[in-house]
Amino acid sequence: MHAPGTIGPMTPEAETTPEAEPTPEAGTAPTAPDEGATFADLGLRPELLAALSRLGYEEPTPIQREAIPPMAAGRDLLGQAATGTGKTAAYALPVLQRLPDERPGGDPLALVLVPTRELAIQVSEALHRYGRDLGARVVPVYGGQPIPRQLRALEAGVDVVVATPGRALDLLQRGSLRLGGVATVVLDEGDEMLDMGFAEDLEALLDEVPEERQTVLFSATMPRRLDSMARRHLRDPLRIQVAREVPTEGEAPRVRQTAFVVARAAKAAALGRVLDVESPTAAIVFCRTRDEVDDLTETLNGRGYRAEALHGGMSQEQRDRVMGRLRGGTAELLVATDVAARGLDVEQLTHVVNYDVPAAAETYVHRIGRVGRAGREGVAITLVEPRAHRMLKTIERVTGAPIKVERVPTVADLRARRLELTRAALRESLLGDDLERFRGVVETLTDEFDVMEVALAAVKLAHEATGGPDDEEEIPEVTLRPERPRRDGDRGDRGQGRPPRGRSGPGGDTERLFIGAGRSAGVRPGDLVGAIAGETGLRGRDVGAIEIAERFSLVEVPAASADEVIAALKASSVKGRKVTVRRERSPA
Ligand code: AMP
């Protein structure tokens, strides 16, 4: 056990205000690099810089700027940061940086603990991508996957293990996971792990890693129980919080701010829908990486928008050309990274779109500062994936301005809007155009039809000629789980099996969903809870009773979220395959 850390006492308020002023350790904190620092300025090795450049990351996010140098230097760290801040890379890069060049042994040098299967996969993929040129061997282990495969992967030799706590403990007890060589332990989403009932497993695991290790904890909130765990297991940790800068009064511009919560798979369609309804004169859509910029530009052009990409990988000449097209009105949408859009001033800009919730509140403020100038109306639109909704709350608190969460326009909304545009165009024509030469057409038709009928046919043709394609499918609505006080002592899913909890799980109205995979496909309760918690705004404990039959499973979820869960599970996979998901048919 370590000497107690020097973390200050947490007030109850601090449990839900991640942006509260931090208390860095006196005298020991290396000064964080300035805003504008590059990844190279953070002292990362060339192999990692090459990977980041390949991935199109143009600059570190604030949590990365602050966490990478001290963590790479071996310091314990306590980071309060939510999903969407870039926290994964903030710890993954230093973990890789610290790997020795020669790694003859097969036992892990770093252990990353995460609450869900989805996160384990996501984090191990990130480590794998960043660590490719270093030859880093990364193995995810989680409940639900057959143990033999994980045993083989561990036996083959591993540098970093990314694990859910239950499975890590299981493998440890079998003697397959050997932690004697671990130099760094990262606990990611600490609050979620406690929420899911992993407290004892975490304690047991932390007691098994060498005392001389580095320990790093990331969590969106800092409930008391987590704080006391940090006091016991972290040594003189540096404390880092993102989004703590409060803009000075008047800095946050007066802009209509809205957000739409959408599943990742539906984002491009949702953006198209929102743009159709908003009809911006000129808009900038901000993305995180160059690749995202290129992909989204292509998608939007495919949907009939005139979109141009702008990112740091382009030459000055290319950028100038793009800006010329936007200013001249040939392009209506600019899809850009923050770096590329820096200093850019487009007068006719009406809309700023955040394709993801920005990694820091300051970024949000800078971005939306580009509209709403000189008394003109500006609109800021943010697309929020369910897991990133906390960051949105943080931004709201920091900017002091409410962001209205709205429903993605439905097909009916869109039709109404298109009809409205046709009506406005006809009115304009009636007021301004010389329509005399069409009089003969109307007069001959009125011999046979009523004037109203003639008008209806003319409107139909005008509408079809100007309107876009009549829209596709409804975009599933995602409801955000309301923030709730946390309860201590809650023991939920351990990632590999849980007793059915009857109707007590979600509370309130529930619905049972049929999922077309069961025991024969190797499905276990943890797979379903993990898939649901990973893809929707629900948490493990919102999921109720689970029954696993041979060929199918039944899962109880809050009725209000049933559509969301169905859409999310259909868009993703259960045990690596696409499955049927629908409401359970009530017995005849
Ligand atoms: P996280 O908060 O770790 O879940 O990261 C959110 C997303 O941001 C992930 O898709 C990352 O790939 C991406 N990301 C992280 N750091 C950066 C960066 N410096 N530049 C661009 N994208 C990033």
Ligand 1: atom nearest CA of 58 is: 20
Please give the distance, rounded to the nearest whole angstrom, from the Cα atom of residue 254 to the centre of ligand 1: 28
Task: Pick the atom of ligand 1 nearest to 84's CA.
Answer: 2
Per-residue pLDDT at 286: 96
Q: How far is the CA of 268 from the centre of ligand 1 (A)?
A: 18
Give the span between the Cα atoms of 515 and 531, in whole angstroms: 12
State the distance from the centre of ligand 1 to the C-alpha of 456, rounded, in angstroms.
Answer: 51
In the numeric block, which tokens belong to residue 126?
A: 């990130």
- Chunked into runs of 10 residues, the chain (588 residues) has average pLDDT values of 35 35 40 80 96 93 94 96 89 97 92 91 94 95 84 93 94 94 96 88 94 95 91 94 54 77 89 88 93 94 89 86 84 90 78 93 86 76 89 85 87 83 89 91 94 94 73 69 42 37 51 86 79 78 79 86 86 77 70
Query: 504-583: which CATH architecture?
Result: 2-Layer Sandwich (3.30)
Atom of ligand 1 nearest to the CA of 289: 21
| The pLDDT value given to residue 374 | 60
80 in Cβ contact with 190 (< 8 Å): no
Atom of ligand 1 nearest to the CA of 60: 19
CA of 414 to the centre of ligand 1 (A): 32
Q: How far is the CA of 337 from the centre of ligand 1 (A)?
A: 12
Q: How far is the CA of 288 from the centre of ligand 1 (A)?
A: 7
Q: If DSSP states are collapsed to H, E and C, what string results for 107-175? A: CCCEEEECCCHHHHHHHHHHHHHHCHHHCCCEEEECCCCCHHHHHHHHHCCCCEEEECHHHHHHHHHCC
Measure Cα distances from 395 to 19, 85, 390, 392, 492 in Å. Answer: 9, 11, 9, 5, 30
Could you name the CATH architecture of 12-241? 3-Layer(aba) Sandwich (3.40)
CA-closest residue to ligand 1 atom 8: 86
- Residue pair 311/56 in contact (Cβ under 8 Å)? The answer is yes
Q: How far apart are CA 510 and CA 138, in angstroms?
A: 39
CA 85 – ligand 1 centroid, Å: 7
CB–CB of 239/24 below 8 Å?
Answer: yes
Residue 102 is encoded by which pair of tokens?
């020669």
Q: How many CA atoms lie within 13 A of 196 on its CB side?
A: 30
Closest Cα to atom 22 of ligand 1: 288
Taking the C-alpha atoms of residue 209 and residue 215, their distance in angstroms, rounded to an integer, is 10
- Pick the residue whose CA is nearest to atom 11 on ligand 1: 86
Ligand 1 mean position, distance from CA 126 (Å): 9
What global pTM score does this model have?
A: 0.66
- Mutation pick for ligand 1 pocket among 53, 61, 119, 186 (CB with most ligand atoms within 8 Å): 61
State residue 3's pLDDT score. 37
Pocket of ligand 1 (CB under 6 A): 57, 60-61, 64, 83-89, 288-289
Instruction: For the beta carbon of residue 583, count every other beta carbon within 10 angstroms.
Output: 13
Range 486-501 burial, b when 16+ CB lie within 10 A, else e: beeeeebbbbbebeee
Q: Name which residue sits closest to atom 14 of ligand 1, judged by CA.
A: 86
Instruction: Give pLDDT, residue 25.
Output: 40
Closest residue CA from atom 1 of ligand 1? 86
Alpha carbon 527 to chain centroid, angstroms: 20
Residue with CA closest to ligand 1 atom 9: 86
CA–CA gap between residue 417 and residue 278 (Å, rounded): 9
> Quick one: tokens of 379?
């609109």
168-197 b/e (C-beta count within 10 Å ≥ 16 → b) = bbbbbeeeebbbebbbbbbbbbbbbbbbbb
- The C-alpha atoms of residue 488 and residue 483 are separated, in whole angstroms, by 16
Q: What fold is seen in the domain 254-409?
A: Rossmann fold (3.40.50)
Nearest CA to ligand 1 atom 16: 86
How far is the C-alpha of 501 from the C-alpha of 193, rounded, in Å?
A: 19
Q: Which atom of ligand 1 approaches the CA of 387 most closely?
A: 4
Six token digits for residue 503? 């109707």
Distance 52 CA to ligand 1 centre (A): 11
* H/E run at residue 558: strand 553-558
Range 361-371 burial, b when 16+ CB lie within 10 A, else e: bbbbbbbbbbb
486 contacts 537 by C-beta, under 8 angstroms: no
Q: How far is the CA of 266 from the centre of ligand 1 (A)?
A: 19
Q: Tell me which of 58, 83, 88 to substitute to probe ligand 1's pocket, judged by most ligand atoms within 8 Å of the beta carbon.
A: 88
Q: Whose CA is nearest to atom 6 of ligand 1?
A: 84
CB–CB of 159/136 below 8 Å?
yes
Q: Quick one: which H or E segment has residue 239?
A: strand 238-241
Report CA(17)–ligand 1 centroid distance (Å). 22
- Residue 444 host element (H or E): helix 439-448
**Where do the domains of the chain lie?**
12-241, 254-409, 412-466, 504-583
The answer to whether domain 254-409 and domain 504-583 are alike in fold is no
CA dihedral in degrees (558, 561, 563, 564; nearest 10)?
Answer: -140
Q: Whose CA is nearest to atom 19 of ligand 1?
A: 60
86 alpha carbon – ligand 1 mean position (Å) = 4
* DSSP H helix total and E strand total for the chain: 20, 18
> Which residues on adjacent β-strands are paired with residue 186?
112, 216
